[in-house]
Amino acid sequence: MRPSSLFTIVLAAVLVSADRLTFRGCQDKVKESLVSPPRGWVQHAPAPQDQIIRLKIALAQPSFGELEEHLLASSDPAHERYGMHLSKEDAHTLMAPSQDSIDIVSEWLSEHGIGEEYLHRSAAKDWITIHVPVSLAEDMFNTQFHVYKHVESGDTFIRTTQYSLPSVLHDHVDLVQPTTMYARFKPMSNTLHFMGGITQEFEFSAVTGSITGPAGNAINATCNYEITLDCLRELYNVGSYTPSGTSGNKLGITGYLDEYANFEDFQNFMKLENPAAVGSNFSVIAINGGQNNQTLSAAGLEANLDVQFAFGMTHPTPGTFYTTGGAPPYTPDKMEPTNTNEPYLDWLDYIMNQTDIPQTISTSYGDNEQTVPPSYADRVCKGFAALGSRGISILFSSGDGGVGDNDEDPSTTNCTANNGTDATTFLPSFPASCPYVTSVGATVNVPEVAANFSGGGFSNYFARPSYQDSVVKGYLSSIGSEYAGLYNSTGRAYPDVSAQGVNYVIMYRGAPTNVSGTSCSSPAFASLVSMLNDARLQANMSTLGFLNPLLYSRGVAALNDITEGSNPGCGTKGFKATKGWDPVTGLGTPNFGKLKDLVLGNSTQ
């Protein structure tokens, strides 16, 4: 993980609190601190002392390097251990803290009156969750909490700009959050675009009849301005392939922030798009108080889009929708845990303790990377690595702000660093920037070009992984000094791949609706990955797991290179799509027929 411009992560005795002796006679030292709250957040009021807050403590993971080595080996098609995934128990062993860390942190908590009966430990014992009043949290972490308000949305959180730990704990605790985390982790549907209200302009030709797709097959010309299941099958060369439904393969979709996938809309979508699937349904698993409101007026645009296209494409593959606890506004008069807004940790805590997990999982949520503490981003990213080591393919939308924030108008220049300098900078998205997930950008039209909202760029937190070195260096060489200083040329580059992202036809609250965004692209690409896993399972082969080492090596020959378009933002024209990998469409869009031959070992490429 790269050092953050937002935080000072103190690993040695650099900053010492005012002569306060605490646990084992040690002085407190600042663990993490902010220069100031991120842009758009203001201090609203002191946090009520008796308000209960939920905090998560991450213990150090001394064996993660071994897990990462296994992940990369099992994901590299040229490696002798390709496809040899870890069991749940093996992954937990490599994620676990040392017994010394468990013991000393337990002792410290007990000193503050927090015994084992008040703790929740994650499956690998690497996370501890506590519920404490603000007054106790302020004493434990030698800080002051305040209510902070997000000016644009009105969201309110209890947060601080600095917290400390006894020096003896610094090697044992990686982070405590949410303390200095101001990320809102919004759905990418913030910029899903309804027809008639779309902010980006696209030109659609008035061609009738059929047009030729990248695989040389005929595609209905209506796919040039409206995307259906048949369009994706034709465009991405699915042909007559139908999953078995009994291979043991499953597909998962995650939902957060009170986004509900509606059963009635799902059935009406299938009547229009896939009559063979009428009467089928998907499973719903609730996590951390997640709800399953089936009132039609409560149907979520994001949730409906994801389940309709992902499960519609892959029928009869069993589908699971995860609904993870909502994010209500903070209300001081209700003595309940505040909105912690850490959905990935809640979901990871649950999913990592399951034995039967869908082999492909798509998520369409994220936020501006710089609003996420780098320590938090690192640990969440390691959770995705652990899932990949178990043979799970994790896909994320790349974001809808081009090279800027998802909230930004591409015509503005309000893209500033949150390090006190207010310097203009491109704004990468997280978790799309995590090197252990597959990030999916967006295209439009046939022939395909980059959708101009497609999120892409370079992480400021994560270094570029070796599997990207060749193609990314080639791209950087081609653009020379363009945008120098606005992005981190050594960072993890994204997206990895792309898929259609404009004008998907879904059913929403009883009526057809057209929507756009990389929220469309990720479940579309994930549905094809799910079918590839089905094909491998039918052939008694392992699942694909972490996709990127395959995609960046042999897989690139089975993708359609996108060479036109760009992703403007931050007052610039953004990066350009070009031959080979680019930070707009990645390596390109899928050719399922070629990918299937490749993963089954039938490819001559």
Catalytic residues, which ones?
Answer: 302, 306, 519
Among residues 550, 551, 545, which one has the least CA distance to residue 495?
A: 551
Cβ-defined contacts of 35-38 (< 8 Å, 24+):
35/6, 35/418, 35/419, 35/420, 36/161, 36/418, 36/420, 37/148, 37/159, 37/161, 37/182, 38/6, 38/182, 38/368, 38/370, 38/371, 38/418
* b/e sequence 334-344, b meaning 16+ C-beta within 10 Å: eeebbbbbbbb
- Give me the phi and psi of 403, to 5 degrees please: -90, 5
User: Per DSSP, which regions of 161-249 are E strands?
Assistant: 162-166, 173-177, 186-187, 210-212, 218-220
Burial of 196 (0-12, 13-18, 19+ CB in 10 A): exposed
**Residue 561 assigned as binding residue:** yes
β pairing state of 218-220 and 429-430 = unpaired
Contact predicate 128/172, CB 8 Å: no
**Is residue 50 marked as binding?**
no
Give the type of residue at 484: A
Answer for the pair 325, 363: CB distance below 8 angstroms, yes or no: no
CA distances from 513 to 32, 220, 258, 595 (A): 45, 20, 20, 31
582 is in an annotated binding site: yes
* Cα–Cα separations (whole angstroms), residue 194 to 42, 226, 363, 365: 32, 12, 20, 18
Residue appearing with tokens 């009559």: 275
Spatial strand order in the sheet of 27-33: 16-21, 27-33, 162-166
Q: Rounded to whole angstroms, what are the CA distances from 465 to 34, 62, 309, 386?
A: 27, 21, 31, 16
Pairing state between β 251-255 and 319-324: parallel
Taking the CA atoms of 385, 388, 392 and 396 in sequence, report the sign of the dihedral they define.
positive
564 burial via Cβ count (<10 Å: 0-12, 13-18, 19+) = middle
Tokens of 426: 């491109």
Considering only CA atoms, which of 489, 599, 502 is closest in space to residue 554?
599
Residue 580 assigned as binding residue: yes
How far apart (Å, rounded) are the C-alpha atoms in residues 501 and 448? 11
The H or E element that residue 17 is part of is strand 16-21
Compute and round to an integer the Cα radius of gyration of the chain. 23
- Angstrom CA distances, 301 to 191, 398, 436, 528, stand at 11, 18, 27, 22
Question: Which residue numbers belong to the known binding site?
Answer: 561-562, 580, 582
Residue set of the binding site for Ca(2+): 561-562, 580, 582
